[in-house]
Amino acid sequence: MTTERETLDTAPGTATTGTATDAPLDVPALAAQPVAYWTWAATEALLAHIRGAMAREDVTQQQWWTLNHVDGAENGLTRDEVCERLEPYLNGVTPGAMGHAVDGLLHRGWLVAGDDGRLTLTGTGRDAKARIKKLVTRLRAEIHEGITDEEYAAALTVLQRMISNVGGTATPR
């Protein structure tokens, strides 16, 4: 009997490291593989790549999200609004991480709180956001390398259907 791990390691069209090769697809073998493993492995690899690149720029993913949401709100956001909007996306990050992200951005002078508690970006914050946006754009290109928009859209459509099939919900960001 072949174990799940052996199937993952020896599936046609994959190298022992799990990376795709130019070999023809063995659809039945690939279709028998566990999607939960592959979605987990993709999540782990992508988050490590993204968070590592951001760490080299001395910013966290939560700080990036905060800059975007605060800047995108017409009158800024309060600390509670930032946390309420973004905490659901933390998945595995410690509770309170969004509050820490806000604190870090206030300490750096990238955000400022008005008398009403509403946070807005400072000039330095806008400069940092523009710099990080270039990084995020580069990371997206790296992640999407060799993948057409049609393939990407098809992959998301399949994942959304699987989520729906098991009664889950996911809201596009």
| Digit-coded pLDDT (tens) for 98-157 | 889 999 999 999 999 999 999 999 999 999 999 999 999 999 999 999 999 999 999 999
More confident site: 5 or 28 = 28
DSSP characters for 31-52?
HTS-HHHHHHHHHHHHHHHHHH
Q: What pLDDT is recorded for position 87? A: 80
Reported as a single tens digit per residue, the pLDDT across 109-119 is: 999 999 999 99
Q: Is the pLDDT of residue 6 over 80?
A: no
Cβ-based neighbours of 86, under 8 Å, separated by 6 or more: 62, 65, 66, 69, 98
Q: Give Cα 19 to chain centroid, integer Å.
A: 20
**Beta-ladder partners of 113:** 119
Q: Is the pLDDT of residue 16 over 50?
A: no
Residue of 87, 125, 90, 82 lying closest to 106 (CA atoms): 125
Q: What pLDDT is recorded for position 91? A: 67
As a whole number, mean pLDDT of residues 87-102 equals: 78
Extract the tokens encoding 161: 């259907």
Q: What is the chain's mean pLDDT, rounded?
A: 86
Q: Is the pLDDT of residue 13 over 80?
A: no
Reported as a single tens digit per residue, the pLDDT across 32-84 is: 999 999 999 999 999 999 999 999 999 999 999 999 999 999 999 999 999 88
CA distances from 110 to 43, 71, 89, 152 (A): 29, 11, 22, 34
Amino acid at 153: A
